Structure 1
Amino acid sequence: MLNNKTTVTADVLTPEQRAAVRPKIDYSSAGAFFTSTGRRIASIFTRRFMLSLLAGQVVSMCIVATSVATSQLTMRNFNISTTQSLFHYFCINLTYSSYTIYRYGFAGWFKMVKRDGWKYFILAACDVEGNFLVTMSYQYTNLLSCILLDTWAIPACMFFAYLFMRTKYHWTQLLGVFICIVGLGMQVGADELSNGANFPASNMAKGDIFMILGATLYGLTNALEEFFVRKSPLYEVVGQLGFWGFIVSAIQAAAKEHADIPKATWNGTNIGLILAYTAAMFILYTVAPLLYRMSSSTYYNLSLLSSDFFGLLVGLKLYHYYPIWLHFVAFAVIIAGLITYFCHSTPEEQGKIIAQPPEYITGVPRDEEARVDGPSDRDSISKMPLDAEADPDVKINAASGQNQVHI
């Protein structure tokens, strides 16, 4: 967002600044209106927006991969979901915590866990229990209720994003959310018309409550992780999520699934499905925080609405689904909603990014003014006192003499 106290001309704007400025629509004549509208639409498709759109579809496909792997495991009577989650938390912890130790040193990592571990424990606990509650809801309510109630994560995420980061939403962003949900409704309707794939509810009220609670925890987890990754290095946040997530999952698996683990069938097919599930979750947990920085956690949740369409494509081969024209229209409507979300506000304006290691590790005071949330804020980055050795997320541009924070 441009600083109101700074006057700049188009000639001195950087590419990042131009990308974050939407051209005004000219209403003086019909020709001017259509020309300016075309420029306005073209201004949406910046590199950062296209990366956000692509990342959103990547995580959406990861969701489909995990759902297919889980459903295949369930069909093979491998019903130990918390134990199943242990593997991806272990891999995330092994990868990102190891790198954090490499950057901070073991003493610095231990100090970080001791001082900030409690907040990452809350994040991980919400993530683990959100997954658990959503999985449980499928045992009690029907598929239609699960799909519709899962969208509660979107307003929940928007609420928590406002609570943690004071995020403000333009009316066009709310319109984008509405369009995405309409697209989801069309997708659900297409599912019902094409094959009526559903299952009876054994205890609908109980299942719906589980789904609402799980979706609320999803929204809380997404907003909380966005809050963390905008202030701390990605490897620290993701590593701690894996570290505490593994501990919480291990305790819960030992308490609830200790009798079922020996009874599970550990054959080659099931192990392969677990590896596929773990790989998809690893990619998701890696890409999601990048998407939080490039756009927002709300945009992440909106992007997941397209997962039903990708699930349909997979189902053509695995489950012999038969798509109808409404499936493709629904997917187009969801993509239109994702574009509408940024037709006025830009990804650069969604929040500050102050990705700095803790002061108690670097010995350098945190500069709360250093950020990369908008065009005018590039100037403030030069005031950052950190150097390339003190801050692994900051590199010095020798040509310009400015410190640049890299997402």
Structure 2
Amino acid sequence: MAPPPEGERGGGGCRARWLRREVLLALALGQLVSLLITSTGFSSSELARRGINAPTSQSLLNYILLALVYGGILLYRRQPLTTKWYYYLILGIIDVEANYIVVKSYQYTSLTSVMLLDCWSIPCVIVLTWIFLKTKYGFRKFFGVGVCVAGLILVVFSDVHASDRAKGPKPLKGDLLVIVGSMLYACSNVTEVN
């Protein structure tokens, strides 16, 4: 959606309405994605609780829909690929493995731990972009990452030492799987930018 021209129909007021509509649309789409991620996490946790262990099958529909929608848009616009096809294949394999590992972790730890530990990708992305893309970050961002990492460490210790609440059969193994999957997500996301 292109912004309206500056000089048409009132100038600033029209542009403000357009920006407001863009922000509301972005917020609505963000909430929709958040709802889908939470639904996926809940269903994965529920399937694991019932003894159904099929992490590949659970993720297959997501990748089929992604390929159909993005591939369809790419074909409709008749745009050539911007990089070599094998680059996308490697990127896809990394992302599929990350998704498999995270969905597998639901068999071993609680839904809350998986949802919280999946945030480990944020510090990983910041470190990877700082090293490879030479992105500059200020003190506040590094402080925020430190708070995030401290919270994640507390979640892991909480899972290891909590015997009185509902958790998976091997919470430490599940937590480590989520951390590895989050690191792979970070590699996939940073590589997409590069």
Alignment TM class, shorter chain as reference: 0.5 to 0.7
Question: What aligned pairs does 1:141-152 form with structure 2 within 5 A after superposition?
Answer: 141=109, 146=114, 149-152=117-120
Question: 2:44 maps to what in 1?
Answer: 70
Question: What aligned pairs does 1:275-294 form with structure 2 within 5 A after superposition?
Answer: none
Unaligned runs of 5+ residues in structure 2 are 1-11, 13-18
The alignment's TM-score, normalised by the length of structure 2, stands at 0.65
Amino acid at match of 1:197: A
- CA deviations on 1:168-199 (whole Å, 9 max, x unpaired) are 1111223344556677789998xx99x93323
- CA deviations on 1:356-375 (whole Å, 9 max, x unpaired) are xxxxxxxxxxxxxxxxxxxx
For this pair of structures, how many residues does the alignment match? 172
Question: 1:122 maps to what in 2?
Answer: 90
- CA deviations on 1:213-265 (whole Å, 9 max, x unpaired) are 2111011122223x15xxxxxxxxxxxxxxxxxxxxxxxxxxxxxxxxxxxxx
Provide the C-alpha distance between the structure 2 equivalents of 1:212 and 1:59, rounded to a whole number of angstroms. Answer: 21
Query: Quick one: structure 1 residues 58 and 91, their matched pair in 2 at CA, closer, same or farther if it must change by over 3 Å?
Result: closer
Provide the C-alpha distance between the structure 1 equivalents of 2:128 and 2:23, rounded to a whole number of angstroms. Answer: 23
Query: Quick one: structure 1 residues 150 and 224, their matched pair in 2 at CA, closer, same or farther if it must change by over 3 Å?
Result: same
Match status 1:169 vs 2:137: yes
3-state SS, counterpart of residue 99 of structure 1: helix
Match status 1:211 vs 2:185: no
Amino acid at match of 1:100: L
Say which of 100, 113, 129 aligns to 2:74. Answer: 100
Match status 1:157 vs 2:109: no
Query: Quick one: structure 1 residues 209 and 183, their matched pair in 2 at CA, closer, same or farther if it must change by over 3 Å?
Result: closer
Provide the C-alpha distance between the structure 2 equivalents of 1:131 and 1:86, rounded to a whole number of angstroms. Answer: 10
Provide the C-alpha distance between the structure 1 equivalents of 2:149 and 2:31, rounded to a whole number of angstroms. Answer: 16
Structure with higher helix content: 2
Unaligned runs of 5+ residues in structure 1 are 1-14, 16-45, 229-407
Deviation, structure 1 residue 140: 3.8
3-state SS, counterpart of residue 169 of structure 1: coil
Query: Quick one: structure 1 residues 172 and 52, their matched pair in 2 at CA, closer, same or farther if it must change by over 3 Å?
Result: farther
RMSD over equivalenced CA pairs, Å = 4.0
In our comparison, the structure showing a higher alpha carbon Rg is 1
Question: 1:269 maps to what in 2?
Answer: none
Say which of 106, 127, 133 aligns to 2:101. Answer: 133
Deviation, structure 1 residue 56: 4.8
Deviation, structure 1 residue 117: 1.1
Provide the C-alpha distance between the structure 2 equivalents of 1:171 and 1:178, rounded to a whole number of angstroms. Answer: 10
On the 8 A contact 1:161/1:224 being kept in 2, the answer is no
Query: Quick one: structure 1 residues 220 and 103, their matched pair in 2 at CA, closer, same or farther if it must change by over 3 Å?
Result: same
Query: Quick one: structure 1 residues 147 and 74, their matched pair in 2 at CA, closer, same or farther if it must change by over 3 Å?
Result: closer
Say which of 224, 242, 251 aligns to 2:191. Answer: 224
Query: Quick one: structure 1 residues 51 and 183, their matched pair in 2 at CA, closer, same or farther if it must change by over 3 Å?
Result: farther
The alignment's TM-score, normalised by the length of structure 1, stands at 0.35
Query: Quick one: structure 1 residues 134 and 224, their matched pair in 2 at CA, closer, same or farther if it must change by over 3 Å?
Result: same
Amino acid at match of 1:118: Y
On the 8 A contact 1:126/1:221 being kept in 2, the answer is yes
Question: What aligned pairs does 1:3-402 form with structure 2 within 5 A after superposition?
Answer: 56-75=30-49, 77-104=51-78, 109=80, 112=81, 116-141=84-109, 146=114, 149-178=117-146, 196-201=165-170, 204=172, 206-225=173-192, 227=193
Of all paired residues, the percent bearing the same amino acid is 37
Amino acid at match of 2:67: N
Provide the C-alpha distance between the structure 2 equivalents of 1:82 and 1:118, rounded to a whole number of angstroms. Answer: 22
On the 8 A contact 2:98/2:185 being kept in 1, the answer is yes
Query: Quick one: structure 1 residues 164 and 88, their matched pair in 2 at CA, closer, same or farther if it must change by over 3 Å?
Result: same
Amino acid at match of 1:171: F
3-state SS, counterpart of residue 152 of structure 1: helix
Amino acid at match of 1:84: Q
On the 8 A contact 1:123/1:221 being kept in 2, the answer is yes
On the 8 A contact 1:150/1:211 being kept in 2, the answer is yes
